[in-house]
A and B are shown apart, each in its own frame.
Chain A
Amino acid sequence: MNSIDDFVTLIRDDLGLDVDMTDVDRPLDQVAGWDSLHLIALLTRLEHSTGHSLSLPAALEASSLRGLYDVAVTG
């Protein structure tokens, strides 16, 4: 995953959520279909593919997809 575009594609293809780049700065509670289950599945997926551990508390505090992406790339 090299960019936020890749991140959005991953959410579309791995979580099945119909999101695009216009959603990345939206508050998570306004992203259609999003719930905390997706956060867990997403982090599991990212850890599996990157091989390193991510901070779940930091991810839980993220307020947008971009915030989650930052957690994902910075660990």
Chain B
Amino acid sequence: MSTAAVPTDEPAPTGTGEPGPTDTTTPAPAPTTPADELLALHRSGRLATEYPRLKTLLAQLDEDRSARAAQLLARVDPDEVLRAHPSLPALTVAITGHGTLSALVPALALEGARHGIVLRTVVSDFDSYVFDLADPGSALHAASPDLVLCLLDPMVVRDELPAPWRPEDVEAVLAEKTALLEGLVSRFAGSGSGTLVLNTLPLPRDLVAQLVDHRSRARLGVLWREANIRLLRLAETRPELVVLDLDPIAGEGVEVTDARLSVYAKAHLSPRMLSRYAREAGHLARLAAGQTKKCLAVDLDQTLWGGVLGDDGPEGIEVGDGPRGAAFAAFQKVVGQLASQGVLLAAVSKNDLGPVRDVLANRTEMALREEDFVRLAVNWRPKHENLAELAADLNLAVDSVVFADDSAYECGLVRRELPGVAVVQLDEEPARHIGKLLRDGWFDTRELTTEDRARPALYRSEAERKDFLHTFDSLQDYLRELGVRVEIGPVADADVPRVSQLTLRTNQFNLTTRRLQPAEVRALAEGPATQVLAVRSGDRFGDNGLVGAVFLRREGSTVHIDNFLLSCRVFARGIEQAALTTVLSRARADGAHEVVGHYRESAKNAKVQDFYPANGFARTGGAGDVGERPDEREDEQPDAHTSERPGEQPDASANVRTFRHDLAGIPPLPDHLQLTDTSEGHTP
């Protein structure tokens, strides 16, 4: 892999991951998958009583597991849910239309549970939509539904074609059906309540292909689409009507019809199309229940741009140029498109604010600018705290926030702490960011007003720029569930390139910013008085790999920490404390009397200036405070692989502080993680 263009700090942990090496003294609880948890709730009959919890579990299921969960959720009695949770929003949804419709029930049950809305579904008899909608005394009207889903499918037309047929026959049936639907919509408006939902009819290829001449095929295409246009136009004048356009869904490759289900079961829309339809209906249910999303909070590194700003610098991040840069720029445009329609855009990112503002102001390829954001929550605090504060600051319920991030860790944290926040989990493939953001219609609304479009400007007051202290207490429970594991030991030969890379690219959690080529790392690892420790970590989301390094040097009874590095992607999970505690413990075991740590200020490492004092070290002060070994490479030029600019290379005038630990009270290991120490009994 090229090291020049690819950001080498840790990608977001992904996947479920395999357990890594573990310390047998503190076994982690066996990870339970969300699907297992759902099944356990079903088996113990607790899906109804635990209903509010389901949204967090369902958010983590793939399409297949969601379809299975839907079947279980369809068995849950809405009354039982409401008895347990009387304050949950509840809606009645009537299902009518052409063909067998009951397969929509599980799909809707899934969407209801995803959104924490109790949906009572009332399914009409087979093919009774005309009577249902036209007769004010029908069972459908008697149910006083909030939503009426009238499912239309291409068989509405095909069922009535003569054999053989010609395009004119299709034209006649389409004219009759659209006129009928127009009449039904009028009748519904006069007698019904709630929102009526119709849908367009995707044109089946196996209807088109029955015509052998292209002229007739083109004619059929025109007639069919004109009918769909008439349906869509109805919504322009009917406030109670929504017409869902199924063509874009079919265009994504979702099959409209499953031939066997259509023939044998008279279910004319495929299960996947029904689940997509239900997803749209779920957002209409949200609207009916008054649950609207108003704010989109986006991460920055690997979300709006490629790379890690703190390490790669404002000029080093990927946006606009190159294939990945273009993907991020395209995503930014879509985010901006949402913001232009009244969605309040906020950045929630672990970064220093200065460089972020620099990028927003000066990277010309950025589609988004500071003025597009109503707030920049850019600091080092846990993201759920920032989101809660952001919502309070904007005078919104936190449940009206949608959060998009590429990090499984951050997404998991927000899901756990703020279950009402919709989490859009992105990954390392920026080309898919747009699809993931738009997968759900989180910001769907019936009609956009002038006030909506103007809303962001109202909120765009000068954002508060707080530089917060690190307050991670609220993270403890999450970290415990995360199953963080840390392995610390001498670097193996195979680790040398990666450790060198960390020294070259890590800027933020880099106590002395010493840049080392692989040969130099190897020399230090093999030196008689020096040692290099590699830090690896992982958690239930997966393996993070080699994330940190500690450079040690023994001088008499003193162990110097010449440098301490950690990828900022895993910062603040206790990994740095575990590594430091290990160093202190080993030093004491090996007869040292003190450990001395050095901090050399750089343009980017301010956030770790208190790392040693916060962990039991005392500032030494005096002459020893400058001119220590960490300065010896001060005249070296930046490495070609780094994004460092000349002005940022450590220099002789850099402020070096020295801290001492007397090895008396070694801080305990953070109790949420498992440590494996492979140091094998010696410090240098």
Binding site for B on A (CB under 8 A): 12-17, 33, 35-37, 39-41, 44-45, 48, 56-57, 60
Contact = CB atoms under 8 A, between A and B. Distances in A.
A17 B103 CA distance: 15
Contact of B72 (A16, A33, A35): A16
A14 B64 CA distance: 11
Contacts of A40: 103, 261, 265, 267, 271
Contact of B102 (A14, A16, A37): A37
Shortest Cβ-Cβ A-B pairs, 8 listed: A16-B75, A16-B72, A37-B102, A56-B264, A56-B260, A15-B71, A14-B68, A16-B71
Contact of A48 (B43, B64, B100, B267): B64
Interface of B: 39, 42-43, 64, 68, 71-75, 100, 102-103, 105-106, 260-261, 264-265, 267, 271
A17 B72 CA distance: 8
A13 B39 contact: yes
Which of B42, B73, B264 is the most central at the interface, judged by chain A CB atoms within 10 Å of its CB?
A: B264
Majority DSSP secondary structure for residues of A touching B: helix
Nearest to B74: A16
Given A13-B42, A15-B71, A33-B75, A41 B264 contact: no
Contacts of A45: 68
Given A16-B71, A16-B74, A56-B260, A41 B103 contact: yes
Contacts of A41: 71, 103, 106, 271
A20 to B, nearest CB: 13
B43 A37 contact: no
Nearest to A40: B265
A35 B102 CA distance: 9
Contacts of B43: 12-13
Contacts of A39: 265
A48 B68 CA distance: 11
A17 B265 contact: no
Given A14-B68, A14-B71, A16-B71, A60 B264 contact: yes
A37 B105 contact: yes
Which of A16, A35, A48 is the most central at the interface, judged by chain B CB atoms within 10 Å of its CB?
A: A16
20 contacts: A13-B39, A13-B43, A14-B71, A16-B42, A16-B73, A16-B74, A16-B75, A17-B75, A33-B75, A35-B102, A36-B100, A36-B265, A37-B105, A39-B265, A40-B103, A40-B265, A41-B103, A41-B271, A56-B260, A56-B265
A36 to B, nearest CB: 6
B74 A44 contact: no
Given A13-B72, A33-B75, A35-B102, 10 more contacts: A13-B39, A13-B42, A14-B72, A15-B71, A16-B75, A17-B75, A40-B267, A41-B71, A41-B103, A56-B264
B42 A57 contact: no
A44 B39 contact: no
